[in-house]
Structure 1
Amino acid sequence: MKLLLLITSLPLAHAAKSGFCSYPMWSIPEVGTDTRCDNGRNGCPKRIDEVASPECTDSFGVAGGATCVVRCASDHDGSDNTEAWQCSDTDFETWELVGDSLDCSSEEISEKKEAISLESWKEMARSFQFVPVNGTAAKVGAAGVCEQMVEFIPDVCSCEDTELGGTAHCTVDISTNGTDDDPPFHVDTINMDLELNVCDEPMNINFHIEDELVSNDLFDYKIEAGEADEVGTGLIIPLEIAAVELMLSYELGGTIDKLYMKFGFDLMATVVIAEVYCSSLYSGCPLWFLEAEEDFGDTCA
């Protein structure tokens, strides 16, 4: 069993090239969060008003024509002292001020973060780790697929036999190891159900993934034997230095008598303007959370 995390850096783009604005809480001018400021020349003294614009809060993005209401950081949500920004319905990643601007110049502002350098990303890539949360393994003495896969299913998963195979319920905590200068910190928790339908015809694997940071984000994906690829899940993990997207890497091949499966996670982010893979930074990547070759012929008989 190999447990791993792959961190890559690619452009974060899953929307059409027009009429869409990503991450309103960071992309609107002078708007940020307490720990992050991307688009403020002198900082980010403004915040999304969560009462007036809940759809713009902790959001992957909004469609063209959507409006987000903004307040000063020291004001309460629902304040009358606001300004409004509309996502352009013709231009990609373009915000337009609607009405008068809001003066928040007296605010204590979150400082603008410098663009992450290759060295900074390399250091962070080396620091990521998976931390078991549920602390359970496959059922001891379970019949069927769970028993057969006990060596390969990670310790962060429990396993339940099903009519078509087995389902692994996994809770993956993503944290950093920390350094002498920076203590360890929790990044996100990924919950995943992995349906191993190896006795189905055709055999298939279903992934159901969500993260706890933005609990309404869900990813459902089905693969069949003979497929190998890497796909974006649309689940965004906002780090202090960048927003990264959870990627799923997979390979499923062979027959029921000799089935090969390999599954892993990537994280992808933009590093300045370059695309830099974790595997190009150090030998610990790429990493896979499950890799196995098994004969399920008797189990599924």
Structure 2
Amino acid sequence: MNKKFHNVAVLVEFIAGSGLAIFFHWVLHYKEAAYTIFGIGILLSLVTYLIREEIEKTREDVLESYTHAHEITFAIARIEDPECQIRARELLSSSMRTISLLEQGFIPLEEMEYHLEGAKQMEQAFHSVKTVDPLSSGLDLRGALVNFYQAEQRARERGIRVSRIFIGSREELAMPEFQKILTALHHENVGVRIAFRDELPPIGAIGKNDTVNSLDFAIYDDRVVVDVYGKTGKYFGKKTARTSEVAKYLHLYDLIEHSSHAVTLEQDRIVPANDFMPIAA
């Protein structure tokens, strides 16, 4: 209907201009003015037609963008059942958290995807791999993690420098299952260090924020980070290659490394090396 009105308006403008030109030509016998008025009338009709077309096109684009942007909101508004409304808003809230991660350059990963991505990045590493693992949960060798540790072993065989910092307590360090794995890593010449939780600086001082929200992550060639997602929910971890976010993890790693201890093998047990440093006379 709007299109028809626009076409009628252009026709009316053309007829008005033409009628005025005819009046000057036949009634007033002023041919020069008649030709001028006719030409200007046609130009004005053309300009107004093009302007109306552009306004209509812009209006349609704006309406389409608005509808697309509010499609989910409109769909939720059409839900009549109160319980369904609550469920829909919970799903929307969860989706918004995921979208927020994507906006920051993080790809959310489910648990299987997380371990698969870690193994993939380990296979593709060229220079170095830096990892931070909690002693309490970072040494499980079952299931999907087997492929990850096999990929790590192949990376070391290719000459990739793998450095591991384990975070825990002295009591956890003394546990037999952890001693067994740490001893195996020590024999394989993996750069193992230990950081005790009570010796780490306050959380704010080590750069923990909305994106760096765990102390269980790996940095591959200083270009890609795979991190355990510290919040409960559908996703187990996340990955980022955004330079600014990788820089935050590198800074966090350096601070943790500064507070960590090298380890040594004493009487078939892994202990912090400085615990056995000789006391100067």
Structure with the largest fraction of helix: 2
* TM-score bin (small chain): under 0.3
TM-score normalised to structure 2 length = 0.22
Greater gyration radius: 2
Higher relative contact order (CA 8 A, sep 6+): 1
TM-score normalised to structure 1 length = 0.21
